[in-house]
Every structure is written in structure tokens, then in C-alpha cells.
Structure 1
């Protein structure tokens, strides 16, 4: 069914039905993560569709709502043999199970060929856990579900290539025209215009080069590629959790990093042999529990900084680049060195953490 390009739901329902046939008395299901890897966006459970309807929107955690979230987060199977009394998990998840008569459930991560979590495969029983548990059936179900999900996403991406390339080309031409127009303002000489224009267009080219090689880009690699022409390895410190930048955010990150590196090399810390720049990022929980992302550029050891008399295109770009992902940008001309910060909600439009041990 996978090879015949059946719909994803049809394939996953078939996998579940086969598991139920080989493990009589069980109910099988598949949860599917969103592209950000932080939330379940869909669930297939042909024997209990109302159970499946209660899964979308559940976060992987921690804290873990249930066994599927815990399995995905930890990268290993997680079981509950007494769902109703299992206080490790959210009461709403436990109620969802007991409302459907589930007493025992075990979930296994569903992964891509490169180990990236795509969701989970689970088996549930109404009459308590069997002895032995059908681990082989569970493992096969997870593998088949992983193949189906990978094939589905590859097919989706292939269908979108032409439309996405047309969209990118339009955006690229618009960006080049905008850069040319804005760079020419302010009475710059022809030589100054060409140098600034060339740098900004090369930053765009670097961003699009990364996008053609992968659907997302590693933030550390992206930073190194953009900053490298302006400074040696010892002048710039890059630190942060492994983070995959979403396609929609690669160009904003590239242009902002180029502006910061250019300014630092011309006027700031990178214009001095003693100067240093530190690029860092992290995820954290906001006051309301929302998962957020913070990015910082901090300069030290360079010439004393004074606020510019006027704001050019670069300043405007840095302040507005992340508006589409609800990001708040702050640029501070501190005397000891330039400071730039981005603070945004963690979302699929911005990117995702990709540590080996977890997906959230």
C-alpha cells in the first residue's frame, strides 16, 4: 500500500488493523508529530476514532501527557499497565483512556531512517496487559508507520517543489530589488553601493544554497557560513542548543547575521584585533509556560559604540526581519559593544531543537 501511494490515513489504518489481527484483543494506533516535532497533530486509531480525536494538540513535554509523549521524548517504549492509577501522566489523558475502556497501553517511537522522531505507534488493551506483551508486533507496526510517514512527507515535499521554487524566485527578485533600492539611499558612492549590495546579495545566496540542500538549516552552520568572511574562528564564539532553522526563517537569519557581521567588521568589535563577538541562543519557558526562543549577538573589546545619527536599511531589516514569526527584535548601541536580541515563540515557522535525545 505504501508503494501504491495510497493515502497516509489508509496506510496507517491498514498497519493498525494488521497489528490487531496478529495480536487479538488489542487496539492499535499511530500518533503523528507536527513538523516542529513538539506537538501531535494527528492520530489514527481505526478501532477507536473518538480516542484518536483527543490526541491532536497534545505536546510532547515534559511534563508528559501520556505514554506516546513520553516515548517520543525519551526515544524508547513507555508502558502503563494501570492507566487509571498511573500518576506519572496527565489526568485528562488517563480519562481519555478509561472512557474508552483502556486499562493497559504501551507506546513506541516512530522514527525516520536518520532517527528523527515522526510520532509513535501504540497498542492498548481493555482487559489488562497480556503476558507476554506483543513487542514484535509493536516494533513492526512502528517500522511500517515510519516508512509510511517518511514516504508521505517526501511525496508532499516533491509536490511542493515547483510551487515553492516559483514562490522563492518571486521573493528573491523582490528581495534583490528592495536591497538595491534601500542600499542606494543615503548618498553613497558607486563603490560603496556595489560593496554593500554585493554583500547582501551573497548573504541571500548563502541562505538559498542551504535551503536547496535541506528543508531546514542548522543554525550553527548558518552562522559560521555568514560570519566567516568577516572574522577568524577565535574572534567569534558560537554557542547554543542544536537548532534547525525552518525554511521560512533561513533568509531572515542570514540577512540579520550578515548585517551584524558587516557592521562589526566596519565599526564594531571585529574591526579590532582584541574585539570579540558572541552569538548564542537558547529555548526557555515564558511566564505563561509558552516555549520560546532567544537569540543574542553581543560584541566586546571593540571601539566605543555610539548610537547612529540615522537608521539605515540594515537597522530597519534587523528590527523587522522576524515579524512574521511574532519575534521581538531589540538593537542596543551599548558603549562597550553592540547588542542585538531576538525573542520569539518556538514554532514550526521559526525552527526546532534537534538534540539526539529529544524532539521538543
Structure 2
């Protein structure tokens, strides 16, 4: 039976080896700071965190030279304060360094405990050093996400408020308002579901069109033509074009080509083949074979969405016409709103 027997003193070499193994596995260094001499010393583990060469120890000069300029003064002030007579028994410092070996920026956390000096001697702090870059990156990413969520939530609430106000104006009864407003909310939710499925990187145009057509595809799928390359819209374009297609589909089902058994809708999109600052994305909706169409005598919220609001939001140009054969609509916007499929990651 091996190991230390009860009552038998531990081998200091064995204890040291175990401690060193635990520190190496945890990628942790040991450091000390003597306030009177401003002496910062680190062990081999600390040297590895700083990217120093073999046999080169972390020192006050190495620490000062590695610190990010924005953190240098604060870090030494905190060391002096922690080692002072009124300093806390334990301290925690976090700062950025430039690693010697590759110049990479890393976040380091020093956690230490103050040990008062003897008569006439300065206090000393001893503690551990760890690389916390991954944690800091997660925190930064989380802050960015929270700001983005807040921004999107405000935009979404503004859109819903506008939809509610305009739908009230266009509705005669409460039941009519509920029906129209619910349909518009479902269309908005469909666009958001597609964007969420791709972690808000973009939405596939074909999927966006099909989701906005909704039940019309089930009842009139053979009379709906959908054609275009495998492209994605960025979130802003997906949300606004989704709203327009929801209104177009609703109008076609109630009054237009999809309100009867013979009508047809053709949807197509493309991007100019040549690169350049003026490259455009084009998407169109064309109805045919349905009831005879005429210019509407009044314009409601849906009309405003497809004719003005979408174009204004996407710096585009809309063409909306009402020939007797069927409504036609097209939107031309900068190609910068469009992404190739390869640029949109697959999110599981």
C-alpha cells in the first residue's frame, strides 16, 4: 500500500509536485507583490500566461511593459491600495496585456491575499494569476446581444404600434380589426421565426415568400409561381419585405387573383449580374387571371406598406400598378441588403 500513512509527515517534494500539477492543469500562475520595493514576481505558470521565454520570469518591468495603456495606471494604483495599511485582506485585479510570444491581447485576473509585513517592513500580497480572456469575450458578446435585443425590441414595438393604429383606421368593426391585426402579427412573427432560425444572420428569400403566402399555398399552390436564386436577405430587408408580401398575399386572397379558382400569382427575384456600387436586387409580384382590377379609391395600411414604407426603409424604388388583368408590384433595392447562401451560417 503506497501513500502517506496516518501520522506520517508528507513528503514536501510530493506536495510540491501535486500543487504544480494542479496549477499547470488549471493554467494558473503564482505571483507576489511587495509594496515597499514595488517588486512584482511570478512563477513559471505566470510566465507562460505572459508568453515569456523559457527561464524568463515575470517581473515588475515585464508587467508594466505588457499592460494595455488604458489599464496600466489603474492596475498599479490597485496594487498599492491593496498592499496599504487600509487595504482589503483579499483583492482581485483584472486587466489586459499584450502577450510577449504572439502579441495577442489577453485578459488576466490576479487574485491575492495581503500578508502584513513585520516591524518596519511593507506588506506583501501573494496570489494566483489566470487567463480570463474567454470569460471576458463571453461578457462582451452578451452585452452586444443585450443591446441588439433592446434595439430590435424597440423597433418591433414601434412597428406593432403603427400596425395597430393603421389597422384601427381601416377596420369598421372590432372583429374586422382583430382579424386583420392578427394576420399582420402572424406575418411579422413568420419573418422573425426565419431570422431566429439563422441566429439573425439572414432569411432565405424563398422561405420568406412561402411563409408569408401561408394558407394560400395550400389552396392555390399550383397557381403560384416562385422563382429566384438561392439568396438571403439581411434582417432589415427580411422584416420589411416580409410585411409587404403579407399584405400582397392578403389582398390577393380577399380581392385579387387568389380570390377565385382561375387566378395566378408569379413571384420572381434576381440580382444584377455585374458588381458595382449601383448593383440592385429586384423582386416582383404579378397577378393574372383573377377578377378585373381597378385603381383603389382609398388607401389603407396595406397599400402604404407595399407602396411607400418598404421602399423608404430599404432605400429602394417601388412600382405598384393596377392593370385590369391583375395587380403588379416590384421593388428595387441596393444589393447590399442581399447575402449569398455561403455567408449565412447554419444554426442547429
TM-score by length of 1: 0.52
Match of 2:333 among 311, 329, 344: 344
CA offsets, 1:74-112, max 9 Å, x none?
Answer: xxxxxxxxxxxxxxxxxxxxxxxxxxxxxxxxxxxxxxx
SS of the equivalent of 2:329 reads: strand
Does the alignment pair 1:222 with 2:208? yes
Q: Contact conserved, 1:281 with 1:293, CA < 8 A, in 2?
A: yes
Matches within 5 A, 1:1-360: 159-186=143-170, 188-214=172-198, 215-232=201-218, 233-284=221-272, 290-319=278-307, 320-347=309-336, 350-354=337-341
CA offsets, 1:165-205, max 9 Å, x none?
Answer: 11111111111111110001145211111111000011111
Structure 2 residue aligned with 1:19: none
Partners in 1 of 2:207 and 2:284 — Cα distance? 16
Q: Contact conserved, 2:240 with 2:313, CA < 8 A, in 1?
A: no
Q: Contact conserved, 2:257 with 2:291, CA < 8 A, in 1?
A: yes
Partners in 2 of 1:196 and 1:209 — Cα distance? 20
* Distance change in 2, residues 1:263/1:157 (3 Å): farther
CA offsets, 1:126-169, max 9 Å, x none?
Answer: xxxxxxxxxxxxxxxxxxxxxxxxxxx99986553211111111
- TM-align CA RMSD: 2.5
Q: Contact conserved, 2:229 with 2:269, CA < 8 A, in 1?
A: yes
- Which sections of structure 2, spanning at least 5 residues, go unmatched? 1-26, 28-136, 344-348
Partners in 2 of 1:256 and 1:288 — Cα distance? 27
Q: Contact conserved, 1:270 with 1:302, CA < 8 A, in 2?
A: yes
Q: Contact conserved, 1:242 with 1:355, CA < 8 A, in 2?
A: no
- Which sections of structure 1, spanning at least 5 residues, go unmatched? 5-152
Q: Contact conserved, 1:231 with 1:270, CA < 8 A, in 2?
A: no
C-alpha displacement of 1:261: 0.2
* Distance change in 2, residues 1:154/1:338 (3 Å): farther
Q: Contact conserved, 1:256 with 1:321, CA < 8 A, in 2?
A: yes
SS of the equivalent of 2:222 reads: coil
CA offsets, 1:237-271, max 9 Å, x none?
Answer: 11001111101111101110100000000000011
Aligned residues: 203
Q: Contact conserved, 1:241 with 1:355, CA < 8 A, in 2?
A: no
Partners in 2 of 1:327 and 1:155 — Cα distance? 37
TM-score by length of 2: 0.54
Computing the radius of gyration from Cα coordinates, the structure with the larger value is 2
Ranked by relative contact order (alpha carbons within 8 Å, sequence separation 6 or more), the top structure is 1
Partners in 1 of 2:236 and 2:275 — Cα distance? 27
Q: Contact conserved, 1:284 with 1:293, CA < 8 A, in 2?
A: yes
Partners in 2 of 1:324 and 1:177 — Cα distance? 17
User: Which 4+ stretches in 1 moved above 6 angstroms?
Assistant: 153-157, 286-289
